[in-house]
Amino acid sequence: MAYVITEPCIGTKDTSCADVCPVDCIHPAPGEEHHQQSTMLYIDPSECIDCDACVEACPVDATMSEDDVPAELEIFREINRTYFESGHDAGEKMVADFLASKN
Ligand code: SF4
Ligand code: SF4
């Protein structure tokens, strides 16, 4: 299992979660490549230890266990995974496609 960052992070991206994550699996954090242009942050599912710290830290309830992701946000499980498996551009494209699908 792993935790997932979902839609409310888009445009918020205040990085509180990255500050508290004990294993630094939330990226791109401040100072890292792509942080400025990234629309949101992403959790690396291969590194997350399910500690729950990011849930309390997030001011907009964007972080959650993948078991708790509601159906309408299900795509964010794949978005978080894709960001780390296929890279920044691939993850961000999925976010853009998600937003476009809502319009
Ligand atoms: S659950 Fe814990 S380890 Fe996983 S992303 Fe959140 S703070 Fe990091
Ligand atoms: S604390 Fe919430 S809004 Fe801020 S970067 Fe993390 S997931 Fe996004």
Alpha-carbon gap, residue 51 to 74, rounded angstroms = 21
Q: Read off the CATH number of the domain in which 91 is found.
A: 3.30.70.20
Supply the pTM of this predicted model: 0.96
Alpha-carbon gap, residue 26 to 92, rounded angstroms = 15
Reported as a single tens digit per residue, the pLDDT across 27-61 is 999 999 999 999 999 999 999 999 999 999 999 99
CB atoms near residue 42 (< 10 Å): 24
- 64 close to 6: Cβ distance less than 8 angstroms: yes
Query: Which helix (H) or strand (E) element contains residue 64?
Result: strand 63-65
Q: Is 96 a pocket residue for ligand 1 (Cβ < 6 Å)?
A: no
Binning pLDDT at 50, 70 and 90, where does residue 103 land?
confident
Ligand 2: centre distance to CA 101 (Å): 22
Ligand 2: centre distance to CA 30 (Å): 12
Reported as a single tens digit per residue, the pLDDT across 72-86 is 999 999 999 999 999
Q: Which tokens belong to 64? A: 């959650």
- 81 close to 74: Cβ distance less than 8 angstroms: no
Domain that holds residue 89: 3-102
Please give the single-letter amino acid code of residue 37: Q
In this structure, the residues whose C-beta lies within 6 A of any atom of ligand 2 are: 5, 9, 12-17, 40-41, 57-58, 60, 62-63
Indicate if the pLDDT at residue 20 is higher than 90. yes
> Given the DSSP bridges, would you call strands 63-65 and 26-27 parallel, antiparallel or unpaired?
unpaired
Query: Which helix (H) or strand (E) element contains residue 79?
Result: helix 75-86
pLDDT at 1: 86
Mutation probe of ligand 1 site: the residue of 9, 26, 40 with most atoms within 8 A of C-beta? 26
Closest protein CA for atom 5 of ligand 1: 48
